[in-house]
Amino acid sequence: MKRTTNAQTQLLKLTPSLSRADQERDNYLGPISATPRLTCERLFNKNIMKLTKKSLLFDLGCNDARVLIEAAKKFECKCVGIEIDRKQCAVAREKVIENFVEDFVEIREGDVFKNIEGIERASAVFLYLLPKGNKKVEEILRTRINDDCCVICYMFKLPEDVGNGFWRERMLNEVAFEDTRERSTKGVDASKYNRIFVYGSKNEMRRRNRVKNVLVRGSFLVAMTFLIDAVFFNR
């Protein structure tokens, strides 16, 4: 059984402002928790999320929109954030204006499941949700994103037991970082929970599989060449 780290446990125990009735609704995805700023920078500086000016980024549960703002400033791409908490939506819109990216970032207030229009055109989707939240939105992603769209999760993976291992097969990379903020001295190693999970697009996985097959066939031909030389020419 996989252990949950202390940091993950604390996040799971966070008490959101919503009532228990709200939490039990199908559209509740988890407590309010912002992605660490250093992680936001790393999403793009490490080429984990490969965007261009023509990209469209969705953040489901965008909090104060810091991931979207970072993307808009770096790539000048279109971004859509969906946040159910009214106060956080107000904060997100203020931050968007403060960073002069209102021409690029749209903040939608409300239920993710009712404000998901346009996700079919997304180039990338970012998630920082609890496992229960990931489980609720994965079907939307699995059935509605286009063949060139990747999915990036912070801290928690998408469920691996759905769609005949759909997300398990899409897992492209898992990146761990020791810290969540800049420090003058080395702090506690946070790499056990401070992780980014990269799920490749359908077309990206196809390309990688083609390359893999070519390499396998090439390795087989090389091996057969050496075998023939050894058997027939005593080399």
* pLDDT tens, position by position, 41-75: 889 877 788 899 999 999 999 999 999 999 999 99
Average pLDDT over all residues of the chain: 82
Same structural domain, 155 and 210:
no
Same structural domain, 107 and 118:
yes
Same structural domain, 146 and 235:
no
Structural domain of 49: 6-200
pTM (global) more than 0.75 = yes
pLDDT over threshold 80, residue 83: yes
Three-state secondary structure readout of 124-185 = EEEECCCHHHHHHHHHHHHHHCCCCCEEEEECCCCCCCCCCCHHHHHEEEEEECCCCCCCCC
Same structural domain, 126 and 220:
no
Same structural domain, 100 and 213:
no
Give the amino acid at 203. N
Say how many domains are in the chain.
2
Q: What angle do CA 196, 137, 156 make, to 5 degrees?
A: 25
The closest of 17, 20, 113, 105 to 61, measured between CA atoms, is: 113
- Higher per-residue pLDDT: 25 or 210: 210
**The CATH number of the domain where 193 resides is what?**
3.40.50.150
* 66-88 average pLDDT score: 96
